[in-house]
């Protein structure tokens, strides 16, 4: 199995060049802001095991499980591939499939944007160690699982999707960069787009430079116009100024603390609350992405 397809593009911003929860009291975004609609949601971490459970946890209605949930096993993959798939692929495909199911859209027909700050650092560490000890014994499977677009490639092959995908990284600004890329794609193509963001535990010497703890994956199906499945409108505005990502509430932030994709949790907390919310993400040292989320009628059922 090849991890990539001819339709995919891989974008890296590098590690040096990248791209308190607000309330509705802030002024609305400018009319020129980019906007799209959230039609489907997926979320998974060991203590937020699936969107259905995560909604109640993020709202504070129930406690998060004390025992970490086992890694999901995506039903999209054949049994052999399911066993071979690394953590990054398993969590990314799980939330991607969940978001598509919630949006009532066929996975094979949806273009996608996959965003990960570091890809699969566990596999990369294993490959580096093997190359240092006995390079001729390097596993081809581990090698193709180490590439940054592995999850996007697995998704395309498992679903039979021939639509284009983008695989990107922007260091600590990856979630915001992926979100704005997906919204731009949805608007320019006038079609639904799948946005998937994920990162896993760093391992070995790489962990001293590329720091990430635990596993976290999140997905949205974004539409350029409202549909019957639309749960919220998301409006984006880019500001050429230094800013900080809006944190999730402390008890929620603690559930994914240290993960490289943790900056995205505040958006999913707002989706779980199903109330208007204003928050910020970073796109770079001097670029801030302002996000206005406004639920649509019936959003509480998401």
What CA–CA distances, in Å, run from 86 to 162, 237, 244? 23, 35, 32
Under the banding of pLDDT at 50, 70 and 90, the label for residue 288 is: very high
Residue 213 backbone phi and psi in degrees, to 5: -120, 145
Q: Which residue has the higher pLDDT, 228 or 14?
A: 228
Percent of the chain with pLDDT over 90: 65
Contacts of 41 (CB under 8 A, 6+ apart): 51, 98, 99, 102, 219, 220, 221, 231, 268, 271, 302
Q: Which two tokens stand for residue 293?
A: 């989320």
- What pTM, to 2 d.p., does this model score? 0.86
Q: In a 3-state reduction of DSSP, which class is residue 6?
A: coil
Q: How many CB atoms lie within 10 A of CB 62?
A: 11
Q: Which two tokens stand for residue 182?
A: 């997906």
Tens digit of each residue's pLDDT (9 = 90 or more) over 241-281: 999 999 999 999 999 999 999 999 999 999 999 999 999 99
Q: Is the pLDDT of residue 9 over 70?
A: no
Q: Is the pLDDT of residue 104 over 50?
A: yes
Q: Evaluate whether 4 touches 152 at the Cβ level (below 8 Å).
A: yes
Residue 126 backbone phi and psi in degrees, to 5: -65, -40
Tens digit of each residue's pLDDT (9 = 90 or more) over 203-243: 778 778 778 889 999 999 999 999 999 999 999 999 999 99
32-228: which CATH architecture? 3-Layer(aba) Sandwich (3.40)
Under the banding of pLDDT at 50, 70 and 90, the label for residue 137 is: confident
Predicted pLDDT at 291: 97
Q: Which two tokens stand for residue 242?
A: 């230094």
Q: Is the pLDDT of residue 32 over 70?
A: no
Q: Which residue has the higher pLDDT, 264 or 140?
A: 264
Q: Is the pLDDT of residue 300 over 80?
A: no
Pairing of strands 112-115, 48-49: unpaired
Q: Is the pLDDT of residue 26 over 50?
A: no
Q: What is the DSSP letter of 39?
A: E
Q: Which two tokens stand for residue 291?
A: 């996000």
The DSSP result for 189-244, as a single string, is HTS-EEEEEEE----GGGGGTS---S-EEEEEEEESS--TT--EEEEEEEESS---
Q: Is the pLDDT of residue 157 over 80?
A: yes
Q: In a 3-state reduction of DSSP, which class is residue 57?
A: helix
Q: Is the pLDDT of residue 1 over 60?
A: no
């Amino acid at each position: 199995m090849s991890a990539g397809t001819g339709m995919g593009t891989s974008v890296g911003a590098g590690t040096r060049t990248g791209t308190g929860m607000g309330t509705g009291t802030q002024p609305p975004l400018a009319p020129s802001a980019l906007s799209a609609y959230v039609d489907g949601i997926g979320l998974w971490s060991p203590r937020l095991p699936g969107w259905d459970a995560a909604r109640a946890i993020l709202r504070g209605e129930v406690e998060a499980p004390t025992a970490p949930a086992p890694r999901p096993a995506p039903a999209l993959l054949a049994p052999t591939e399911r066993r071979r798939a690394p953590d990054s692929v398993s969590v990314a495909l799980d939330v991607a499939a969940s978001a598509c199911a919630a949006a009532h859209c066929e996975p094979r027909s949806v273009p996608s944007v996959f965003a990960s700050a570091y890809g699969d650092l566990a596999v990369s560490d294993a490959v580096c160690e093997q190359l240092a000890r006995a390079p001729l014994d390097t596993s081809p499977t581990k090698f193709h699982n180490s590439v940054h677009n592995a999850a996007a490639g697995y998704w395309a092959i498992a679903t039979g999707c021939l639509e284009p995908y983008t695989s990107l990284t922007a260091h600590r600004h990856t979630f915001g960069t992926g979100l704005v890329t997906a919204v731009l794609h949805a608007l320019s193509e006038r079609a639904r787009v799948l946005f998937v963001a994920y990162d896993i535990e760093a391992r070995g010497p790489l962990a001293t430079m590329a720091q990430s703890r635990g596993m976290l994956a999140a997905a949205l199906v974004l539409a350029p116009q409202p549909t019957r499945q639309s749960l919220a409108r998301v409006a984006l505005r880019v500001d050429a100024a230094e800013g900080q990502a809006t944190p999730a509430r402390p008890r929620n932030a603690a559930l994914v603390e240290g993960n490289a994709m943790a900056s995205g949790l505040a958006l999913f907390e707002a989706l779980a609350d199903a109330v208007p919310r204003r928050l910020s993400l970073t796109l770079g040292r001097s670029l801030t992405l302002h996000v206005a989320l406004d639920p649509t009628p019936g959003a509480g059922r998401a």
